[in-house]
Amino acid sequence: MSTNTADATGRAKATGTAGAAGGAEVTDGTADVVVIGGGTGGYATALRAAALGLGVVLVERDELGGTCLHRGCVPSKAMLHAAELVDGIAEARERWGVKATLDSVDWPALAATRDDIVARNHKGLRAHLAAAGVRVVRGSGRLTGARTVLVEGVREEGSRAGDAPGVHHLTARRGIVLATGSRPRALPGLVPDGRRMVTSDDALFAPGLPDSVLVLGGGAIGAEYASLHRSLGAEVTLVEAAERLLPLEDADVSRHLARGLRGRGVDVHTGARLLDAEVLDDGVRARVRTARGETRTLGARRLLVAVGRVPVTEGLGLAAAGLAADARGFVVPADWDRLETAVPGIHVVGDLLPPPSPGLAHASFAEGLVVAETLAGLRPAPVDYAAVPRVTYSSPQTAAVGLTEAEARARGHEVAVRGMPLTALAKGMVHGRGGMVKVVAEAGGGRVLGLHLVGPGVSELIAEGQLIVGWEAEAADVARLVHPHPTLSEALGEVFLALAGRGLHQR
């Protein structure tokens, strides 16, 4: 295992040996691999590279774990779990005769639990990297060449708050990995203040719980935040410029999600565009053009802008290494199998990648594994983006993997499509919250192309769909598998039985 020490000049160095317990030695600013960015893709690359015996320096200017751990995936899902508990109290009282009441939501206590979950994950990640022998350098890294990185404002992991920041010059023997992530997309004229006007990065940390929220953007992030605030008692308006929510998902998924949110009291506007917005003393006021061409004025205590994310490449020094971002800000690989740019030895993971990379944390884990193994001289299988699950943790949840029905037809497939409402199942009736399963397969008993779900807890069902799509299974293959009763997963079994011509409860 490597341990960080400092020489007489104050320069940090690492001592250690290669092997299963940690990466190879990193000395005098030279390492096998230099990773810029300590989010999910960056730290996954670092951990796997170190496990393969490479010496790794991981550069991070903020907190290890990145947006996902500190501002996105983890804290938002913690809050959404709390929202489920609140909804459960209402269901217990109104549907099951459990005479429960909700006095109030203690926002500071809720936030403290959320922050504790984040802090424990952060502590565990730091310990994991240290145990792996990854040297962590806190500072802003930028490329100065195809194998060199300048890190400014340096603080070594474990340094004291009073220590003066410095500068490091790093050299990578094998390669550099760009993993600087993304930030919320800004709209002209809308300047977030962290209070009345917020982005998805700071919405969870704005003061207090507003009694009304206007959410701009009906993708996964916008739908989740609309659902969260509605569960916690706010009046919610959700505005999406596209013709439907989750515009990249199957149209039936979008329809069921919109129905579910509207049923919970969310005011959903699709095909609506923001004209302007202003911050008032007691909230915000916005004008939108509806799908019918009407202009409506909407007011709320808070405006939450969730119109997507853009890659962070400012100050990364791409030109110094012979690279450039494309018009959208992405760094495009020349070799997608290796996620390697046109400059040999410089690789990209995570939100810096354009589609088909989906900009999801779990996809960046897989990308990090591929890059680390490539730099170690292995020949890993490329990431199968078609088999990466997509989940929206709203209420109802959505989950999907593979092609939508429209995508399958557009690619020339003759398709067979079967679906089933979850309320056709005993367990679906128990939940009483609707939902559906939809499967898109090649006609004539061919392989399964896509699987789409809406309903309670479907995020935990999609892993089966991932295996089905990723292994190119046919309906008859899945129809042989017995699903437990009574569960929501029976819907998958029933649909595949029907596709295989063996329908039990449906034909």
Q: ω into residue 486 within 30 of 0, thus cis?
A: yes
CB 398 within 8 A of CB 391: yes
Give me the DSSP letters along 5-37: EE-TTS-EEEE---BTTB----BTTEEEEEEE-
Q: Which residues, in sequence order, are CB contacts of 385 under 8 Å at separation 6+?
A: 356, 357, 358, 363
Identify which of 364, 363, 311, 371 has the alpha carbon closest to the alpha carbon of residue 336. Answer: 371
Q: Is 413 a catalytic residue?
A: no
Identify which of 306, 304, 252 has the alpha carbon closest to the alpha carbon of residue 435. Answer: 252
**Rounded CA separation 150/171 (Å):** 9
List beta partners, residue 450: 402, 440
Catalytic residue among 81, 169, 485, 505: 485
Burial class of 393 by CB neighbour count within 10 A (0 to 12, 13 to 18, 19+): buried
Q: For residue 47, give the 3-state DSSP assignment.
A: helix
CB 400 within 8 A of CB 390: yes
- Give the rounded distance of the alpha carbon of 400 from its chain centre: 14
Please state at what angle helix 40-51 crosses helix 361-375, rounded to 10 degrees. Answer: 30
Annotated catalytic residues are 485
